[in-house]
Structure 1
Amino acid sequence: MNTTAPVPRIAIVGAGPGGLTCARILQRHGIAATVYDQESGPGARDQGGSLDLHEDNGQLALREAGLLEEFFRLSRPEGQEMRQLDRATGAVTSHHVPAEGERFKPEIDRGPLRDLLLNSLRPGTVRWGHALRSIEPAEPGAGHARGPRRLRFADGTTVEADLVIGADGAWSRVRRAVSPALPRYTGITFLEAWFHDVDNRHPDIAGLVGQGSATAADGERGLFAQRNGGGHIRVYVIQRLPADWITASGLTPQDTGALRALLLDRFRDWSPRLRRLVSDNDGVYVDRPLHALPVPHTWEHDPAVTLLGDAAHLMPPLGVGVNLAMLDACELALALAHHGTVDDALRAYEQTMLPRSAGMQRLLDGRAADLLSDEPHDPAHGENKGLEAGAA
């Protein structure tokens, strides 16, 4: 930024991959930023399952962050394996095995990715236990068109910032400062099941899934099983149902036995081997109804507030969410580094990000239903039913 201009106070809300990537690249360009997150600390909860970082977006951001080679050391290129299974027999009908040295979209668990980014930041960059409640003009009576913002947190503390970056996900509170839009239910819901120490405790399931992912569907329901690091597999039971289907059945997500019986009945015509993916899990199921923002989602330019990732363009989890969040973060940080004012930087960033995200939103609108399709596909040619595992 212009070295003669006052140094802007930058507040990033959300310590996910997007927010941390933005902070890291800003720091590499000598620009300070503080990240505020509602969680009590980096180990407050499980970060979710595995995801693939693509060569043309997520990996580009890691290269700008100076972390690409460390990512390759942590990643699982074998996780690019993809199997499609026949739902009646469990037989493999389509199989993609990554070539030796293939690194187009290697897998990494969300936890190690977050740790990689966190450990790259200067001590004290992330302020934990800061749940945002509102964003207001810093000066009484001032409008939102100009001037700094005051962030109010749930613990009663406040901070002022010249730029607020909303990297706080699907239910973003920063989004409220620029847009009234709320995520809408897509009509597709996931029920997540976990399997631990799979090679010893669940060897048949480990063999069924392989080193990457395996999927099967019949048009109304589907299964997506994905190997994670540390000997874990997560299975996503995909159904076209109302968002409140569990409570409408008189159950809660903690009613594991009753939910298991219900699922086994709904998958009664499937292969016994595949039915074990819904019945042999370790622990409770996790309810994950899928939401998306209206298409396209945009907002009137604000010189002190912008959004990235799911806060800007929540879409069905088809392998692009974290990748786009990290690309957004990279481009925003570089814009701030290379433009003379925050306002100029935000205009440049949004002129690129908003059309790109709108195009991807249109492409994926309604496509969560593709995860239920039983039509053959060819993973080797990019037609696979990819899935980006959600955060816990």
Structure 2
Amino acid sequence: MTTTPTPRIAIIGAGPGGLTCARILQRHGVPVTVYDGETGPEARNQGGTLDLHEDNGQVALRDAGLLDEFFRLSRPEGQEMRQMDPTGKILFHHIPDEGERFKPEIDRGDLRDLLLNSLQPGTVRWGHTLESVDGPAEGPRQLHFADGTTIEADLVIGADGAWSKVRRAISDAPPQYSGISFLEAWFHDVESQHPDIAELVGQGGAAAADGRRGLFAQRNSGDHVRVYIIQRVTADWITDAGLTIQDTDGIRALLLERYRDWSPRLRRLLTTNDGLYVHRPIYALPVPHTWDHNPTVTLLGDAAHLMPPLGVGVNLAMLDAGELALAIVNSNTIDDAIHTYEKTMLPRSTHTQQLLEHGAEELLSTELPDFATDDTH
């Protein structure tokens, strides 16, 4: 940056997008602080596994100087994919070639640790839940946190996900329920405790659908499997059935009824899980989601373009992050940097949003996708 004094840059959200942006800025000597509402890096389980694509997520990691370390941590065997019908018959089976690196898998927790450990100590301020952003559009901006503290920033980057508080400063668009919900089930020590599921899923993922319901099972590191039970239902389908998310037996009985025509082998993915289910209704931002240019606030990742979970979310967040960081590094002013970044990001995200607008429905489709070549899956 050539601007004097040095601009105060605040990134909200310590997910892959926010941390990638911070890493690349620091790599070029630009000071930055990341604020996150969680109490610390171990506050919660970070979720399942991600495939980082050669043409977006890996590009950002290369700019961050972390690509070789990513390859060391990743699981190229996780690119295996099986598509089945509800009887359990395999319709499609992709086995990755030796050395294939187009979209190797990495656990979310491992990716976040990789990024966190690359930052200067103290970069992330934990326990800072953002409540609102105000102040004049030309800055400085005031960030108000739930603990009563307020800080000033010359640039606020919203990397705070689906329910972004930063987004409210430049857009009033709310995420909308897609009509599709995921119910997540976990399986631990699968090789010894669930060997049939381990064999069914293989080293990557296995999917099946009948047009109304679907299952997607995915191998994680550490001998774990996560299963996503996919249904076209109301967002409150569990309470509508008179149940709570803690009522594992009641939910299991309901699922067994809804998937009664599926093979017993696939139905085991519904009911032999370890622990409680996790409810994940799928939301997306209106298509397209754009906003008027603001000289002190911008967005990346799900905060900017929340879409159905079809393998592009984290990849686009990290690509956004890298492009924004480099625009800041190479621009004379923050305003110029935002113009440069949004000139590329907004058309790209609009195009992808349009491609995936009804993508949640694809998760239930009986049509066979080409997992080997289609980079939207």
Give the TM bin, normalised by the shorter chain: over 0.9
After TM superposition, give the deviation of residue 86 of structure 1 in Å: 2.1
Unaligned 5+ residue runs, structure 2? none
Superposition pairs for residues 184-333 of structure 1, below 5 Å? 184-333=176-325
Contact 2:78/2:219 (8 A) holds in 1: yes
Aligned partner letter, 1:157: T
- Matched with 1:141 is none
Q: Distance in 1 between matches of 2:321 and 2:156?
A: 13
Which AA in structure 2 matches 1:330?
G
Hey, what's the Cα distance between the residues in 2 that align with 1:66 and 1:185? 37
Deviations along 1:278-308, whole A, 9 cap, x unmatched?
0100011110000000000011111000000
* Rounded Cα–Cα distance in structure 2 between residues aligned with 1:31 and 1:381: 38
Counterpart secondary structure, 2:222: helix
Secondary structure of the residue aligned to 2:244 is coil
Q: TM-score, normalised by structure 1?
A: 0.95
Paired residue for 2:368? 376
The change in CA–CA distance for 1:145 and 1:377 in structure 2 (over 3 A counts) is: closer
What is aligned with 1:107?
105
2:10 equivalent in structure 1: 11
Which residue pairs with 1:356 in the alignment? 348
Match of 2:36 in 1: 37
**Matches of 1:236 and 1:281 in 2, distance apart?**
11
How far the C-alpha of 1:240 sits from its partner, in A, is: 0.4
Aligned-CA RMSD value:
0.9
Q: Distance in 2 between matches of 1:277 and 1:15?
A: 32
Q: Per-residue deviation at 1:134?
A: 1.0
What's 2:66 paired with? 67
Q: Secondary structure at the match of 1:215?
A: strand
Distance 2:214 2:304 in 1: 29
**Which of 75, 89, 92 in structure 2 is aligned with 1:91?**
89
Offset, 1:85? 1.2
What do residues 17-59 of structure 1 show as CA deviations (whole Å, max 9, x unaligned)? Answer: 0000000000001001000000000000000000100000000
Match of 1:176 among 149, 157, 168: 168
3-state secondary structure, aligned to 1:230:
coil
> TM-score, normalising length from structure 2?
0.99
Q: Which amino acid aligns with 1:238?
A: I
| Aligned match of 1:130 | 128
DSSP 3-state at the match of 1:193: strand
| Alignment partner, residue 148 of structure 2 | 156
Instruction: Tell me by how many angstroms 1:374 deviates.
Output: 1.3
**SS class of match (1:380):** coil
Q: Distance in 1 between matches of 2:268 and 2:9?
A: 49
Q: Retained in 1: the 8 A contact 2:139–2:153?
A: no
- Equivalent AA in structure 2 for residue 158 of structure 1: T
Q: Distance in 2 between matches of 1:276 and 1:28?
A: 48
**Residue in structure 2 matched with residue 346 of structure 1 by the alignment:** 338
Q: Deviations over 1:344-380 (max 9, x none)?
A: 0000000100000000000000111111011233322
For the residue of structure 2 that corresponds to 1:45, the secondary structure is coil
Structure 2 counterparts to residues 39-54 of structure 1, below 5 A: 39-54=38-53
Count of matched residue pairs:
377
What is the DSSP-based 3-state SS (H/G/I as helix, E as strand, rest coil) of the residue aligned with 1:372? coil
Which residue, 118, 121, 140 being the options, matches 1:120?
118
Q: Distance in 2 between matches of 1:378 and 1:119?
A: 36
Helix, strand or coil for the counterpart of 1:235?
strand
* C-alpha distance in structure 2 between counterparts of 1:124 and 1:380, whole Å: 41
Q: Report the AA paired with residue 194 of structure 2.
A: H
